[in-house]
Amino acid sequence: MNNVKHHTQMRWWPSPAKLNLFLHITGRRCDGYHELQSVFQMLSFGDEVGIEVNPSGQINIMTPIEGVTEQANLAYKAAALLQKATHTRLGANISIRKQLPMGGGIGGGSSNAATVLCVLNQLWQCGLDPQSLCKLGLTLGADVPVFIHGKTVFAEGVGEKFYPISLPSKWYLVANPRCHIATADVFKSPELTRNTPPIRVEDYDFGATRNDCQDLVIDRYPEVANLLQWLVHYAPSRMTGTGACVFSVFNSQSEAEETLKQLPSKWSGFVAQGLSESPLVAALSTVGQGSAAPVS
């Protein structure tokens, strides 16, 4: 560990958003966890995480989030977890440029945690393989492993079993109704559908799937219902995860941008391209070449 070069300059890394293109709940296990099927779609848009190694062993979050203590920040938890698991004496200074809404169902905090784990695993020279990182990540949140894996995948189990899937290139308008939905409340609800028949990865078709949480959420959150109602006039639209964000699927960037321009100002949104691989994967491949390819 002593030969690690201490970085004096903060470098910025992609921390992309994801969408659940569909979400089927196929059962409930005796430990209370739900059996799911979903497609995790990586996007070209997200937060950025700045990381520099320090020799002090301290983990410092340089950009506090209002209402979230440093120790409760998922980026901090990820760094502390990796530090403990690998017994490194090095620390890190971490900054986050937030662009993704918290509690939006598009993976903001989980993606931040995955970026921290992947980058510090390299910068601290911990040498953990992706499987070990995913195991650590799963203790932080169910969505963390998909960002460590870094590819658009068909997922099942509690969301931790991944299968390759090839999808046509699409553009997405992701819109935020600006309300917060507690995932735990959705999954605890007695009205939630829990018996959707499983599908095979090769049979996946967007039009033949749905989000099993959507009806429940739109019953309880009129903001989500209103946003969905507005979007479906323009393109096929669906809620992602347990919400609150909703997405529409377009064949071209220009169609998606045009619809975004018309989005009423009470809502916010962004346009992103669906990617087969997370932009973090490409950035990480440059570490050994002496350049961390900062994101713009």
The catalytic site residues sit at 18, 143
Q: What are phi and psi of 253, to 5 degrees?
A: -60, -40
- Exposed e or buried b for every residue in 256-293, given b needs 16+ CB within 10 A? beebbeebeeebebbbbebbeebbbbebbeebeeeebb
Query: Does residue 174 contact residue 273 with C-beta atoms inside 8 Å?
Result: no
Residue 99 in tokens: 């662009």
Question: What is the spatial distance between Cα 45 and Cα 14, in angstroms, rounded to a whole number?
Answer: 8
Query: Does residue 231 contact residue 237 with C-beta atoms inside 8 Å?
Result: yes
Expressed in angstroms, the distance from the first to the final Cα of the chain is 31
